[in-house]
Amino acid sequence: MKTNTGFLLEKAEQAIGAAETLLRDGYRDFSAGRAYYAMFYTAEALLAEKELEFKKHVGVHRSFSEHYIKTGLFEQKYYYWLIATFNSRLVGDYAIRTEFEDDEVKEWISQAREFLEKVREFLEAQ
Neighbouring residues of 110: CB distance < 8 A, sequence distance ≥ 6: none
CATH code for position 48: 1.20.120.330
> Domain range spanning residue 109?
3-125
Q: Could you report the per-residue pLDDT of 7-51, keeping only the tens digit for each?
A: 999 999 999 999 999 999 999 999 999 999 999 999 999 999 999
CB 76 within 8 A of CB 36: no
Q: In whole angstroms, what is the distance from residue 65 CA to residue 62 CA?
A: 5
Which amino acid, 64?
A: F
Q: What is the pLDDT of residue 98?
A: 85
Q: What is the pLDDT of residue 14?
A: 98
Q: What is the pLDDT of residue 87?
A: 96
pLDDT at residue 90 is higher than 90: yes
- Counted domains in the chain: 1
